[in-house]
Amino acid sequence: MSQDPFTPRVFSGAQPSGNLHLGNYLGALRNWVGMQGSDYETVYCMVDLHAITVWQDPAELRQATRELCAGYIASGLDPEKSILINQSQVPEHAQLAWIFNCVARMGWMKRMTQFKDKAGKNAENASLGLFGYPALMAADILIYHATHVPVGEDQKQHLELTRDIAAKFNHDYGVAFFPMTEPVIEGAATRVMSLRDGSKKMSKSDPSDMSRINMTDDADTIAKKIRKAKTDPEALPSEPEGLDDRPEACNLVNIYAALSDQSVDQVLSEMGGKQFGEFKPLLADLAVAKLSPISSEMARLMADPAEIDLILSRGAQRAREITRPILRQTYDIVGMVAPVEI
């Protein structure tokens, strides 16, 4: 299907559960900032409805949502240029998700690896919301007719499902209504790994805080986490092939490349031959230089939560200018009787 009739529009989001970490920043947020103010309209979301698919303490959820918004702005998203929202203030997301629950097939949902990972052995006890999560995610994107979705590697399967849902809806109702959204997975760090185990991705749900760098960590904490990061005894190679079968070394080099806006080749041509004892302090200095302005700006913004709430209310107002008509048209296509003037 041609993308032509659709306005170029970017949508992406993150869960307000726990802290923003370096993986979120390098895999997603930095690319969101790069797409802002370019050829796209940009909408960035704090997905609070997704967060409650697993238990969240209400006060902590509210705080985490504001903190995430502060993180977005501190990383360079501008509420004037981008629409910033928390998902629950734009009810059309959840309304379209219901329609998609009736489009998506059980077989598709059962193949979603994130559900299997998150529900673990105790799937019978997982919430129905956790199972249906990817249908809500498809709705987040398609309620804006978004054409591009910048994410980290781990979201790829969900974006494939989004395309399957759009295609099935269009096919079943004989329309070309929803676009085939393009995933945008770019940069040297589309999958940042745990600092303690190079086979696991860096994640807010890892019980060990040493496994990740949080955007709110201070300089000493960042330096300590990098110093203690798991590595191997070899020196760094001069060519990328030398990182094969060295997941921890590869991860630290990718992080260095992403933070310094260089390719892995460039980093290794400079760092090849160095031992980790020499490379780690350089990486720590770079990380502190890039991240500490963001964390201090986050702290400044968090001192005025009322201002954040205002930004989110304004964002929701602007978002609904887009989402209301798309939901109405969806309902018309599906056959729902529309309200009349009374």
Q: 139 near 97, Cβ under 8 Å? A: yes
Candidates 99, 143, 149, 223; binder of ligand TYM (CB under 6 A) is 149
**In the block, which residue shows the tokens 């005025």?**
304
Candidates 35, 137, 236, 298; binder of ligand TYM (CB under 6 A) is 137
Candidates 104, 141, 161, 255; binder of ligand TYM (CB under 6 A) is 141
DSSP-derived secondary structure letter, 3: S
- Tell whether residue 47 is a contact of ligand TYM (CB under 6 A): yes
- Tell whether residue 118 is a contact of ligand TYM (CB under 6 A): no
How many whole angstroms separate alpha carbon 95 and alpha carbon 99?
7
User: To the nearest whole angstrom, how small is the minimum distance from the Cβ of residue 143 to ligand TYM?
Assistant: 10
The CA R_g of the chain, rounded to the nearest whole Å, is: 21
Q: 27 near 187, Cβ under 8 Å? A: yes
> How far from the centroid of its chain's Cα atoms is residue 246's Cα?
26
Q: 188 near 30, Cβ under 8 Å? A: no
- Tell whether residue 23 is a contact of ligand TYM (CB under 6 A): yes
Candidates 28, 252, 284, 287; binder of ligand TYM (CB under 6 A) is 28
- Has 204 been annotated as catalytic? yes
Burial class (CB in 10 A: 0-12, 13-18, 19+), 45: buried
User: To the nearest whole angstrom, how small is the minimum distance from the Cβ of residue 195 to ligand TYM?
Assistant: 11
* Active-site residue, from 81, 118, 224, 274: 118
List % helix, strand, coil for the chain (3-state, nearest 5).
60, 10, 35
- Has 81 been annotated as catalytic? no
Each residue 168-207 as x (binds ligand TYM by CB under 6 A) or -, in order, gives: ----------------------xxx--------xx-----
Closest to 287 (Cα-Cα) out of 183, 206, 199, 202: 202
- Tell whether residue 222 is a contact of ligand TYM (CB under 6 A): no
DSSP, collapsed to helix, strand or coil, labels residue 71 as helix
* Active-site residue, from 116, 168, 200, 201: 201
Q: Which strand (E) or helix (H) includes residue 320?
A: helix 305-334
Nearer to ligand TYM, 27 or 132 (CB): 27
Candidates 10, 14, 77, 166; binder of ligand TYM (CB under 6 A) is 14
Nearer to ligand TYM, 120 or 273 (CB): 120
- Has 228 been annotated as catalytic? no
Catalytic positions: 118, 201, 204
* Residues within the interface to ligand TYM (CB under 6 A): 11-15, 23-24, 27-28, 47, 50, 137, 140-141, 149, 151-152, 154-155, 190-192, 201-202
